[in-house]
Structure 1
Amino acid sequence: MAKKWTNSLRKWMAFKMELPPDVVMDLPRVTIVGQLHIYIENHKGLLVFTDKELRLLLKQGQLLIKGHSFVIKTILPDELLLEGKIEEVHYLDE
């Protein structure tokens, strides 16, 4: 119940203060450039990486990216830039 109330309060604050929801609600920001690059901000850690799959932990669930020829170009504590042929992007519930 408290979690639901907190989420409602965050949404209201984002709206009233004209802040981006991803900042206030701790949501990931995913930017895809064609099928060649994907930039993910606000993730909670790398779970799986191969040349065909990337799985990141999010505050709620996971992000799964499938394709081939993957190379991590940049990795920081909460940012990641992936290069390769991106074929699928899925949000997975916990």
Structure 2
Amino acid sequence: MKARLLRIEGRVQGVGYRDWLVKQANRLGLQGWVRNRPDGSVQALVAGEEGAVLMLLSACRRGPMLARVDLIEESLAEPPGEPGFHRLPTG
């Protein structure tokens, strides 16, 4: 299982980005979480089969219709301890 921690910048809050990401991740069978950050970015931990993780990363660059993604910072991470993909409170 591959896991990555993402920090997504741009117009990504107030446009349904987190709900969209939860749907995409669940469709691909991924685990992890997504949350807003106080600085206006979105942070996500994404884990699963390498091909599915790469598909989600590609989709994240586009985002939902009203979003504008300017930058995605990506780093390797430990897989989450819980199954499923969840939306967390801002943190």
Q: TM-score range by the shorter chain?
A: 0.3 to 0.5
- The TM-score with structure 2 as length reference comes to 0.34
User: Which structure has more helix as a fraction of its residues?
Assistant: 2
Structure with the bigger RCO (C-alpha within 8 Å, sep 6+) is 2
- The TM-score with structure 1 as length reference comes to 0.33
Q: Which structure is larger by alpha-carbon Rg, 1 or 2?
A: 1
User: Which structure has more strand as a fraction of its residues?
Assistant: 1
